[in-house]
Amino acid sequence: MFEVFENKTIKEILNKYLDIWSIGYASGLLGWDSETYMPKESIKERSIVFGRLAVLRQKMMLSSEFKDLVKKGEKEQNLNDYEAGVIRVLKREIERFEKLPPEFIEEMERVTSKARVVWREAKAKSDYNMFKPYLGKIFELSRKAAEYLGYEEHPYDALLDLYEEGLKTREVDSMFKELGPQLRDFLKKIIESQNYSATHPLEETQYDIEKMKALNTEILKLFKFPFERGRIDVSAHPFTSGFGVYDVRITTRYEGKDFRRSLLAVIHEFGHALYELQIDEKLMATPIAGGVSLGVHESQSRFWENMIGRSKAFTETNFELFKKYLDFLKDYTPDDVYRYFNIVKPDFIRVEADEVTYNQHILIRFEIEKGVMEEKINVDELPQIWNSLMEKYLGITPPNDALGVLQDIHWSMGSTGYFPTYSIGTILATQIAVKLEKELGNLSELITEKKYDEIKSWLKEKFHRWGSTYPPKELIKRALGEEMNPKYFIEHLKRKYSEIYSL
């Protein structure tokens, strides 16, 4: 173990870290279990275990023995990239724990664990007033967190950095300034185009769940998902859990109709899983053996979902396979399925949004979160603000708060600052495709020829193998030769949808 690490102090740190890592591994597995197979009432004990393990982990990170070791490691000269990565990642985590007082962490934990339950009920009843006091408290705590964590330019920077190391509010601002208006104009063009249709009969077509499961497994086999190192299960909201590089699990959902939801979720989660699975095994059980940031992680899932799963080459090449499990497709052509996978439609729910409208949903949340952090937005007026932003950016007004301000779980969990990473991932995915085509050739041809091994090796070399060795911005620069740039995303959309809608 630890063979890429040569420095004696770093080796000492890694040995010590194994205890901390093991706690993370165990809580990860318990977390996966609570979303998949755990009997409902077990949560009463399970939540105690989660709390205690988190505290235990924090205590070990902050023990003077461990902290002193990391400090010693920091002073070491000539660290290699992996070793420097270990120090960077641990320093970040220790600093975060040190800056947030235990009373604050406990209060946040207490408020959010209750808020999640209340949010679920409030959403089911579409009753914003029920959730409002909790949201008010959570936003107040988020502002407090920013003060504790510290920032140079904008309080929101402190929260963004938790999810995307080094990301600044002004960068998100300029990203949306470039994207927002162009995409809104383009959306208008699509909706006003002659053969535009907001619906497709396949959205209502029922499928056999067992057959759909078999099809999803076939797709994973096509991508050579290593079943000896992972599995696929069912959950209400699809997710990926990677405990280590040898155990990465994904889930999908089966609603019985609208089969693209189940299939594209599998492809999306496969992208997340592949990242974790292709991290260099030599980094196993170290602080850098995980994806580097949420934005980079989402770029991998979006690459597989949008650039592969929603491509014309993919539906064309796999149409016979789809038909084998979904007999109703005998009445359709590959082109019908391609269009069904890519319907553009301004709608209320973010997670169901298409490529063209998706980022407007994030923009709305970003403007609100920024306003909250600047103390310009008060929770009393939030539903009205939400609805007017929906009207402004997507031209529709939610009929109720369940389809509006109450739809996402994130705020109830205290995850203010998380949303922009979804846009970063979506943009990066298109930029990755451009770079990949430059180096490997046409992506459609690779898909048609089922050369997934080539795509996977390329992604491994550029992104995956490094884990968290480099900070996200540096990894992107190394992999793509430039910073994130929204122009690639706009070009991709214009090319693809101008063809679909004959614009």
Q: Which residues are catalytic?
A: 269
Amino acid identity of residue 9, one-letter, is T
Give the residue with the Cβ less far from Mg ion, 216 or 301.
Answer: 301
CB 362 within 8 A of CB 422: yes
Name the one range near Mg ion by CB under 5 A: 149-157, 294-302, 317-325, 354-362.
294-302
278 vs 291: CA distance, rounded Å:
10
357 vs 184: CA distance, rounded Å:
8
Q: Return the SS3 of 129.
A: helix
Name the one range near Mg ion by CB under 5 A: 138-146, 204-212, 242-250, 300-308.
300-308
Exposed / middle / buried, residue 263 (Cβ in 10 Å: 0-12, 13-18, 19+): buried
Chain centre distance of CA 463: 16
Nearest distance, CB of residue 276 and Mg ion, angstroms: 12
Give the residue with the Cβ less far from Mg ion, 73 or 271.
Answer: 271
Give the residue with the Cβ less far from Mg ion, 301 or 357.
Answer: 301
DSSP classification of residue 206: B
Angle of helix 260-277 versus helix 334-341 axis, rounded to 10: 70
Nearest distance, CB of residue 365 and Mg ion, angstroms: 15
301 binds Mg ion (CB under 5 A): yes
CB 326 within 8 A of CB 211: yes
Residue 251: its H or E element = strand 247-252
Give the residue with the Cβ less far from Mg ion, 134 or 270.
Answer: 270
Phi and psi for 251 in degrees, rounded to 5?
A: -135, 165
**CA of 114: how far to CAs of 159, 411, 412, in Å?**
22, 12, 9
423 binds Mg ion (CB under 5 A): no
| 22 contact partners, CB below 8 Å, separation of at least 6 | none
Q: Return the SS3 of 258.
A: coil
Nearest distance, CB of residue 302 and Mg ion, angstroms: 7
Nearest distance, CB of residue 301 and Mg ion, angstroms: 4
Nearest distance, CB of residue 297 and Mg ion, angstroms: 7
Give the residue with the Cβ less far from Mg ion, 321 or 351.
Answer: 351
Name the one range near Mg ion by CB under 5 A: 67-75, 123-131, 295-303, 330-338.
295-303
Give the residue with the Cβ less far from Mg ion, 122 or 273.
Answer: 273
Count of C-beta atoms within a 10 Å radius of residue 209: 13
73 vs 10: CA distance, rounded Å:
6
Residues in contact with Mg ion, counted by CB under 5 A, come to a total of 1
Interaction pattern, residues 76-115, with Mg ion; x per rule: CB under 5 A: ----------------------------------------
Nearest distance, CB of residue 253 and Mg ion, angstroms: 14
Name the one range near Mg ion by CB under 5 A: 75-83, 297-305, 457-465, 485-493.
297-305
Considering only the C-alpha atoms of the chain, give the largest distance between any 2 of them, rounded to a whole number of Å: 69
315 binds Mg ion (CB under 5 A): no
Q: Which residue is nearest to Mg ion (CB)?
A: 301
Nearest distance, CB of residue 119 and Mg ion, angstroms: 20
Q: Is the dihedral of CA 352, 354, 355, 361 positive or negative?
A: negative
Q: How many residues does the chain have?
A: 503
Name the one range near Mg ion by CB under 5 A: 212-220, 244-252, 299-307, 445-453.
299-307
391 vs 397: CA distance, rounded Å:
5
Give the residue with the Cβ less far from Mg ion, 215 or 294.
Answer: 294
Interaction pattern, residues 254-293, with Mg ion; x per rule: CB under 5 A: ----------------------------------------
Residues that bind Mg ion (CB under 5 A): 301
